[in-house]
Amino acid sequence: MLNRYPLWKNLLILLVLAIAGLYAAPNLYPDDYAVQISGTRTTQVDDGTLTRIESALKAAGIQVKGAEMQEEGMALVRLPNSDAQLAAKEAIADQLGSEYVVALNLAPTTPAWLDDIGAGPMKLGLDLRGGVHFLLEVDMAQAVGQRLDVYVSEIKAKLREEKLRYRVVEHLDDGRLAIRFVDTDTRDAASGLLLRTYQEFLVDSDEVDGEAWLYVNLTEQTIREIEDYAIKQNLTTLRNRVNELGVAEPLVQRQGRNRIVVQLPGVQDAAAAKRIIGKTANLEFRLEAGPDASRADTEIYGFRNNADRKATLEKDVIITGSSVSNAQAAFDENGMPQVSITLDAKGGQMMSRVTRNAIQRSMAVLFVEHKQRTLVQTIDGERVEKRIPYTEKGIISLATIQSTLGNSFRITGLDSAQESSELALLLRAGALAAPIYFVEERTVGPSLGAENIKLGTLSVQIGFALVLCFMLIYYKVFGLLANVALTLNLVLLVAVMSLLSATLTLPGIAGIVLTVGMAVDANVLIFERIKEELRNGLPVQSAIHSGFSRAFTTILDANITTLIAAVILFAMGTGPVKGFAVTLSVGILTSMFTALLVTRALVNLVYGGRTLKKVMI
């Protein structure tokens, strides 16, 4: 019988639509404005901390919707609006001080039963709501300084290899390398050796108090190359870290000579993002100094988990974290956290060469972290914050070398499983070529994106309403059925976007508006074909069947060509362009489903199997 679906097909369509409604439902529950409080390595958030927070908010007269402890050892305070959120952040930060991380957040309100089935709302991009914006500055002086430190070790090895006796090789504060020799003849020979070996060096000779000195400077071109490399390497490392965080449609790009912009749309845990993105942790592997080592060639460091315990290490670095090709967090036989390290080929060779001649000596793993200290001053009655960079180094492991080490070994002595996991993540993502510091940190909330949300939603509503009116007036009953299918198409689109954890941006809303038009376009083609068949004298049921069948090829061709364009946009575009491409692609697929199957099912339900002389179309 014409225009009748079998029961199984109707049930399948209903099942798909029911699942779509279920997974689109979380978008009806807007996020709460919130402030998230987490501890640092030396502090923890507990019930006592939460009590202090609630007292501070009450004293400040700030209304709260609720305060709760989270499983990750963090506290979350829910606020009624963005103004209360900003006021609460300042009040909590003043109460707790700098020992805690206080960050703006958006707390989900999705019911637990929806969470249990994996249903969640769409993430909104930075231009709409939610997310974190960081402006980072790369320390170019440190980048050049780190390269000079590498040259110090290379020059020492080269002079020893050529049997040119020197007294000291040191890195001066003015960015030069200074080498003191036993006599002028040796200095002159070394000068010729360095100029032949290193094209990037400028060498000057001098005599001070009867001592022969050689001063090494880098060329301007070499300094620019080092700075460009530092930026490019840091960009790569930051992108790897963002990928480890699983952020959808991130933006990591260079700004100016020495700055990097990082935008993480849809990120809720701003504190964790800052901790991972901004952490400049690295490792240095050094031998413990022997009894015959001179004080000029050694440094004294404390242990991270016991500051009173000290060890004297050689200044020469065997390898750094940049030689790590893979790192995985694990536990040792005693259940203590550790990190399993795999080195690249060059790093493995260096480690093997040094440890081969250092059996029974101790090797330290030095944890190096570049941080900033915030100094608050009051100038002319205004509160001014000044960030002062500093470097913190501590030994996390000091073990005796029992045999020659190769490409694989383990690092122990870590404080917690979280620290081992974060260290492994940072090492996998790659070491930063130079320290980075936060110049600007901004959590983008509804206060900035409200206008975009309002106008974007209004554009969808107006476009949708105009389409519904046109279809209802022009195609009557068929138009009404198409409008039902069009509404279900939007539900299906939102559900798929939510399942994919896609980030909705303003261009994404434009994609939704375009999808509405394309979905109607398919119905218009079908209905016009039906009208044409009716004018040609076909019976109503035959005209309906022929209209859907003959319009199928045209609809398929039009949508496939648009889908190809959307795929190309996704492959070659970045950021918002990708957001538009994703929304458009999903919209094409859902509109074809609703136009060809849902509309057909509704038409069959109203007209199928009946003897009709005419229809309202």
pLDDT tens for 11-35 read 999 999 999 999 999 988 888 888 8
The pLDDT of residue 277 is above 60: yes
Q: Which parts of 399-445 fold into alpha helices (H)? A: 417-429
∠548-552-554 over CA atoms, to 5°? 125
- Where does 120-240 show beta strands of DSSP type E? 123-124, 132-138, 166-171, 177-181, 201-208, 211-218
- 1 pLDDT tier (thresholds 50, 70, 90): low
The pLDDT of residue 280 is above 70: no
CATH 3.30.1360.200 range(s) for the chain read 281-431
Q: What is the pLDDT of residue 115?
A: 87
Which CATH superfamily includes the segment(s) 7-26+448-607? Multidrug efflux transporter AcrB transmembrane domain (1.20.1640.10)
- 130 pLDDT tier (thresholds 50, 70, 90): low
Domain 32-107 is found in CATH 3.30.70.260: yes
Q: What is the pLDDT of residue 441?
A: 79
- 112 pLDDT tier (thresholds 50, 70, 90): confident
- 98 pLDDT tier (thresholds 50, 70, 90): low
CATH 3.30.70.260 range(s) for the chain read 32-107
Long-range contacts from 27-30, C-beta under 8 angstroms, 24+ separation: 27/121, 27/122, 27/494, 27/498, 29/108, 29/109, 29/110, 29/111, 29/121, 30/109
Would you state the CATH architecture of domain 281-431?
2-Layer Sandwich (3.30)
Any residues with CB less than 8 A from the CB of 381 and at least 6 apart, and which? none
Region 223-237: mean pLDDT is 86
pLDDT tens for 176-193 read 899 999 888 999 999 999
Q: What is the pLDDT of residue 514?
A: 83
The pLDDT of residue 282 is above 80: no
Backbone angles phi, psi at 275, to 5 degrees: -65, -40
Q: Which of 199-203, 399-403, 416-420, 536-540 has the lowest mean pLDDT?
A: 416-420
The pLDDT of residue 301 is above 90: yes
pTM of the predicted model as reported, rounded to 2 decimal places: 0.57
DSSP, res 288: B
* First and final C-alpha spacing in the chain: 22
∠469-470-472 over CA atoms, to 5°? 65
Strands 75-79 and 201-208: unpaired
Region 148-162: mean pLDDT is 85
Mean pLDDT of the chain: 83
CA–CA separation, 507 and 125 (whole Å): 10
pLDDT tens for 468-491 read 898 889 888 898 998 999 999 999
| Structure tokens belonging to residue 453 | 């949300």
Q: Which parts of 25-75 fold into alpha helices (H)? A: 47-59
**Percent helix, strand, coil in the chain (nearest 5)?**
50, 25, 25
Q: Which parts of 500-575 fold into alpha helices (H)? A: 506-535, 540-572
- 415 pLDDT tier (thresholds 50, 70, 90): low
The pLDDT of residue 430 is above 70: no
CA–CA separation, 526 and 369 (whole Å): 65
Q: What is the pLDDT of residue 367?
A: 82
Polymer length in residues for the chain:
617
Between 302 and 150, where is the model more confident? 302
Q: Which 3 state secondary structure label does DSSP give 198?
A: coil
Give the DSSP H or E segment for 37.
strand 32-39
The pLDDT of residue 575 is above 70: no
- 257 pLDDT tier (thresholds 50, 70, 90): confident
CA–CA separation, 218 and 225 (whole Å): 11
CA–CA separation, 63 and 78 (whole Å): 9
Q: What is the pLDDT of residue 13?
A: 93
Domain 141-222 is found in CATH 3.30.1360: yes
∠487-490-496 over CA atoms, to 5°? 145
CATH 1.20.1640.10 range(s) for the chain read 7-26+448-607
Region 71-76: mean pLDDT is 79
Q: What is the pLDDT of residue 440?
A: 82
